[in-house]
Amino acid sequence: MRYILFFMFTLLSYLQAYDITYIKLSDKLDGNSSKVFSVNTSVIYTLIHLKNVKAKDSIIVEWIRKNKPHKSNTIIAKQKVYLHSGIKSIHFHYKNTKPYFIAGEYILKVISTDKRNWKRAFRLYTPIKDKISKIYLSSDIKKNSDGTITPKNLKEHFLNSEHKIYAIIPFKDIKEGKDFMLKWIVINDGVNQNRVISRKSAKVHYFDKNSSGVISANIYNVYNWPDGIFEVDLFLDKRLITKKRFTIGDTSKIIENIKMRKGMLKVDKSLEENLITNLSNWILETINNKDMKALYEHSVYSYRDSINWSKIEESFEYIFNSKLDWKEIFKQKAKIISQKVLNNGALYLEAIYRGIKSVDIIIAGTFYKEDDNWRLLGFVMRPLKTK
């Protein structure tokens, strides 16, 4: 009897297949475990831990799409592998090609030799960006009877006199009631850069039973628009989803200035030093000639239509009253301490002449290029006590 029981126990142990102790899903071969994936995920991997695998054992993996209630689920892929005795783990993967995963609920089903099964549920979603068409811009729209909007005169460039500009963004399957915002920005109009000029916030609404609709807004300027580069940004739940740039009027000068600025950022040091040296030589010459009018006119406190004389006199007071030897000061080599390109394309340089009689001199100039020649737009000079 004892031998019979031992035989039955041994037989049952052989009939009893291996156990599965762990199942992981990931978008990388050795990635973190996840139950949620984008429909754009190219490959979904599963790692399965096994226990007590014997020779001739097998494993079946089924990738199943859950369908609506009262409809049978769909097996979109099935894989079977014979296992080596003692194997501890095994990888499977599914390449997301046809038949492909669409947004929805799924099950990974693992079936052992003795037909026992283990399941892991996971979900695929469509990213917001894939649910939104691109931003369309137009100078006019048509409102249809079914609630849809048809843009007229689609364009990315507008005349200065086109006072109203529309943004239209078709969407599908975005949750109704989500907050959206359209932000209108001046990227560059020769004066302003990256300045927000308008915002519109509202909630997403459908116009049919297919969960589709249109997000739209317009911006209006009672006056003619300035020449410039503009942008409209779409946010959903405070997250930037997409953006669209457009131009108004003649942007050739703005684009030229942008290119010039990019080029100026690479101005060589010798040119910077020459510009500052030429500026200091000119200042020294005007001081020696007592030509204060020239200094006044090029001071940063001088403007097109008026001159702030009190500021100029305050700025140049140390020139009149100081006992500094300007010739000795400007004999030194200036050290460039700051360089930047302004919105109008001009080059700003700031330099220091080290101390003579415990006073450093800061000199700064704004220069612009005209007909291949650099000209002085304005300057400022101030003493800096070192003791």
- CATH number for the domain harbouring residue 236: 2.60.40.10
Tally of domains within the chain: 3
What pLDDT tens digit does each residue of the chain (387 aa) get?
Answer: 554 444 444 444 445 678 899 999 998 888 888 988 887 788 899 999 999 998 888 999 999 988 776 677 888 889 999 988 889 999 988 887 755 677 788 999 999 988 889 999 998 877 766 567 688 899 888 887 766 777 888 899 999 999 999 998 887 767 777 788 899 999 988 778 888 999 988 877 665 556 567 788 889 988 899 989 999 998 887 888 888 999 999 888 777 777 666 555 456 778 888 898 888 888 888 777 776 666 666 655 433 344 455 555 555 655 655 666 777 888 888 888 888 777 666 788 898 887 666 567 888 888 877 777 888 877 877 776 554
Q: By residue range, what is the domain housing residue 287?
A: 261-385
Question: Which of these three, 82, 101, 126, is where a domain ends?
Answer: 126
Q: How many CA atoms lie within 13 A of 21 on its CB side?
A: 9
Same domain, yes or no: 10 and 109: yes
Same domain, yes or no: 105 and 210: no
- CATH number for the domain harbouring residue 273: 3.10.450
Question: Which of these three, 91, 108, 126, is where a domain ends?
Answer: 126
Give the Cα-Cα-Cα angle 270, 258, 365 (nearest 5 degrees).
40
Tokens encoding 378: 């304005």
pLDDT tens digits, 317-364: 556 556 667 778 888 888 888 887 776 667 888 988 876 665 678 888
Q: How far apart are CA 336 and CA 367, in angstroms?
A: 15
Q: Is residue 254 part of a domain?
A: no
The residue length of the chain stands at: 387
Q: How many CA atoms lie within 13 A of 81 on its CB side?
A: 15
pLDDT tens digits, 15-31: 567 889 999 999 888 88
Residues 6+ apart with CB under 8 A from 197: 184, 185, 186, 219
Side-by-side strand order, sheet with 239-248: 157-158, 239-248, 228-236, 179-188, 193-203
Q: Is residue 95 part of a domain?
A: yes
> Per DSSP, what are the bridge partners of residue 20?
50
> What is the three-state SS of 43-63?
EEEEEEEEECCCCCCEEEEEE
pLDDT tens digits, 158-208: 999 999 999 988 877 677 777 888 999 999 887 788 889 999 888 776 655
Same domain, yes or no: 245 and 147: yes
Long-range contacts, stretch 28-31, CB < 8 angstroms, 24+ apart? 29/91, 29/93
Give the Cα-Cα-Cα angle 371, 372, 376 (nearest 5 degrees).
85
Same domain, yes or no: 287 and 329: yes
Alpha helices per DSSP H over 265-316: 269-288, 292-298, 309-315
Same domain, yes or no: 341 and 311: yes
Q: Is residue 308 part of a domain?
A: yes
Q: Are 119 and 25 in contact (CB under 8 A)?
A: no
